[in-house]
Amino acid sequence: MSERLRLMAVHAHPDDESSKGAATMARYVQEGAEVLVVTMTGGERGDILNPAMERPEIRENIAEVRRQEMDRAREILGIEQEFAGFVDSGLPEGDPLPPLPEGCFATLPVEEAAAPLVAAIRRFRPHVILTYDENGGYPHPDHIMTHKASMHAFDAAPEPEAYPEAGEPWQPLKLYYFVGFPPERFDALARTLAAHGMENPFEEWAARVKDMERRRWEITTRVHCSEYFEVANDALRAHATQIDPNGFWFAVPNEIVAEAWPTEDYHLVRSLVDTEVPEKDLFAGVREAVRV
């Protein structure tokens, strides 16, 4: 029998999986791959970003509410999901920035932060891992620690002497960074909206993103998944405390988005199999290596 392909995505908070790579995951699930999301924190310190959900009973029970939201999103995407068990660090604000809460995820030694991830890798045995770049995609302390833990776990999981209590060693074959909202995508969407005589609800947000000081990663891998954009949107809406269903995120019809930019994009960081970039498949080279 041929081996099923396995993909693991590592995220900082519940809802991150539905805004980064969700259509990719839905596509691979439909094609028969096993997909696991490891969520490093419970999102306990996240804000309520949907005005309709701003109610005392929700705010008082935000950790449980976000777990329930994650469970609904998991069902929509058809994936497996588990929490690593760490506490959300929150996003510090002010000048100077206040210290992070004691014991939160972002304050931990990377060896400790990576431990449940190593165990998950050895248990699930992914061929491909997706995670954030060193800036976290954006500089939230939990996103940055997720990057550090992912890189450490990728290297430690195959080493027998590392984390001996975490199960049998396993060597993932590829690791990618999410390339979220490259400037070219915003430009393509603006052109397509203009061609259809439609307003661009992303114009102001796109300008802010372009002005951010961050490293621009080359897109090595474009996964065509536009037929799953609505599934991804449904999963994101399941995180009702985190997204306003009437907000700009959903203002452009999926057929327009697909016409402008039908892919989700990644940067190949590590590969232990032969592959050539640009790629169209996260499992390029893996399929041959595992004889799928």
Which tokens in the block code for residue 237? 């809406």
Whether residue 127 is annotated as binding a ligand: the answer is no
φ/ψ of 51, rounded to 5, equals: -55, -30
Is residue 105 within 8 Å of 113, Cβ to Cβ? yes
Whether residue 143 is annotated as binding a ligand: the answer is yes
Q: Quick one: residue 54, left, alpha or beta (phi over 0 = left, psi -120 to 50 = alpha)?
A: beta
The H or E element containing residue 270 is strand 263-271
- 């199999």: which residue's tokens? 273
Is residue 97 within 8 Å of 87, Cβ to Cβ? no
Of residues 68, 49, 42, the one with CA closest to residue 246: 49
DSSP per residue, 197-263: T---TTHHHHHHHHHS--------EEEE-GGGHHHHHHHHHH-TTT--TTSGGG-S-HHHHHHH--E
Whether residue 196 is annotated as binding a ligand: the answer is no
Annotated binding site: 13, 16, 143
Annotated binding site for Zn(2+): 13, 16, 143
